[in-house]
Amino acid sequence: MTSTTTRPARGTPEPAERSGRGLTARVSLGRVFAPVPSEFLLIASTSLLLTGFGLVMVLSATSAIGTANGDQPYEALLKQGIFAVIGVPLMFIMSRFPIAFWKRMAWPALIIATLGQMLVFTPLGHSNDGNRNWIVIAGMQAQPSEFLKLALALWLGYVLYRKQTLLGLWRHVFIPVVPVAALVIATVMAGHDLGTAMILVLIVIAALFFSGVKLRIFIIPLLLGVIGVAVLAVTSTDRMRRIMSFLDPVCADYYNTCYQPLHGIWGLASGGFFGLGLGNSKQKYDWLPAAANDYIFAIVGEELGLVGCCVVLVLLALFAVGAFHVIRKTDDMFVRIAAGAIVIWIVGEALLNIGVVLRLFPVLGVPLPFLSQGGTSLLSTLLACGVLLSFARSLPAKGPTPVAAPAAAKTPRRTR
């Protein structure tokens, strides 16, 4: 009898090959759907909630004036929403990049961001209230200095990470950190934007702190920053007027320097515990200047009361907790420094903005991250969150809990 062997059809993979491909597919899917650290979830969820909350408040703060001026009531929301639609996907795309990518991008990012800031001194530049810190392209206004914040944080993290064994010597801390940072901040100060310059100084100080430099070395840049801010404040008549009105407890100059701070604190106080209701603000009817920008926290307090303000503060606190957990758990000094600079930038800017509304600080012109109207500010903040999420993915995985070996069974002794 003749036996025939059945061959597989041409192109059909062998069983071993099929099993190998199936294993590869399962591994790839496993990497995509692998569980992320709790820090990732905390940073991502608070960022999304604050962004959504900010879109609602921008709509509420701008719809009345937009309608009165003959514009569409949703125009400001649409402009802000475009940057949110761009920024949120970019945030999650950036979260997939490895740490090596951010190290390679440190120098190029700082150079590109600085060149972008220099565009404000070209015909594309635009001035507002004495500050030349914007550019206008195709009818869209942008603030390049917002991207300097993230670029400077990454660059400081990379440079200090490369010098980590030499940070005990002041010259290695000073060069190139102080000259390059001073040059970057000077491009912002040339446009007379003291608020953004102060945030950049804060980023430098935060990076030095998280790098673990000695206190005596750390104090030198701090003193230089304080002296620089003081000189810039004294040499400007407008800044001195705002500082003097802040120091006046009565704030008697109502129609000039005290008009905005007083209406801000009145709007915040009139909300009470539960607020006047969403959309029921009175200050947004052209009583409070920059109601949707620097003073949007006053509108939150007026419409949503103490409850709404506490929600914002709790979300910011949870965001900070997630970021600080990344700093505490990471084994990479670059991640520690860059993440520390980013979280101090975002949380510090929020506290300064809220402090201005509460009249704890003079008017500085810094936005409230995630909430203030301004597409460039929202986009740069979401990109910074994408970097933090990338750092969170790099945290060392928790190893399995070792299982204790079972104790050897005792052999009963034979009794004679």
409 pLDDT band, cuts 50/70/90, is very low
Mean residue pLDDT of the chain comes to: 84
CA–CA distance, 197 with 236 (Å, rounded to integer):
15
Name the residue among 127, 185, 178 with its Cα closest to residue 151: 185
> Of all helices (H) and strands (E), which one includes residue 135?
strand 131-137
> Residue 103 above 70 pLDDT?
yes
> Residue 105 above 60 pLDDT?
yes
On whether the pTM is more than 0.75, the answer is: yes
DSSP string, 67-134: HHTTS-TTHHHHHHHHHHHHHHHHHHHHTTS-HHHHHHTHHHHHHHHHHHHHGGGSTTEEEETTEEEE
CA–CA distance, 98 with 115 (Å, rounded to integer):
26
| Placement of tokens 């979260």 in the chain | 95
> Residue 5 above 70 pLDDT?
no
pLDDT tens per residue, range 194-250: 889 989 989 999 999 999 888 777 677 677 777 877 777 777 777 777 777 777 777
The burial class, CB within 10 Å (0-12 / 13-18 / 19+), for 30 is: exposed
Higher-confidence residue: 104 or 23?
104
Mean pLDDT is lowest, of 97-101, 144-148, 361-365, for 361-365
DSSP state for residue 140 in the 8-state scheme: E
